[in-house]
Amino acid sequence: MEKIDYKLQSIQNLTQVTGEDITGLQHELDEMRKYVDMMDKEGTVEWRKIKPFIMEKVNALESRISSLEMARK
């Protein structure tokens, strides 16, 4: 029963996602990548320590946005 409920919730969420939502998320992700590039140029020690964590999160977000976009099609 929980599995069916989860699927129904997922379907409901997908029907509420618009192309504009996905475009907005992609734009925000692009802005985050620009920030990462800017921080790479500065090259501080602190940045080098947290960059792997940030890149892991950015890549995970990119994957989730792509999955959402494919599910809409």
- What confidence tier does 12 reach under pLDDT thresholds 50, 70, 90? low
Closest by Cα among 64, 72, 73 to 25: 64
Phi, psi of 49 (to 5 degrees): -75, -40
Q: What is the pTM for the complete model shown?
A: 0.73
pLDDT tens across 40-49, in order? 999 899 998 9
Sketch the domain layout of the chain as residue ranges.
18-72
